[in-house]
Amino acid sequence: MATTKEKFDSTGGFSIDKTVIVDELRNAKDLNTLEIKNSEYTDSARRTFILRGLNTAVLQLDVNGTQVTIENDTLNFVTGHIMGVNASGTVYSAKLESVVFCDSVGATTVLSSMRTVIKDDVPSGQTWNIDPLGSSNRFSYNTTRAGTTNNIKWVAVTEVVSIEWQ
Residue 156's φ and ψ, nearest 5 degrees, are: -135, 125
pLDDT at 39: 83
Torsion of CA 101, 106, 107, 112, to 10 degrees: 20
pLDDT at 104: 96
Q: What is the mean pLDDT of each run of 10 residues along the chain (166 residues)?
A: 56 71 78 81 92 96 93 97 96 98 97 97 96 97 96 97 90
pLDDT at 47: 94
**125: closest CA among 95, 149, 151?**
149
pLDDT at 6: 55
| Domain ranges across the chain | 34-164
pLDDT at 30: 79
Nearby residues of 137 by Cβ (< 8 Å), 6 or more positions away = 69, 70, 71, 72, 102, 106, 108
pLDDT at 165: 85
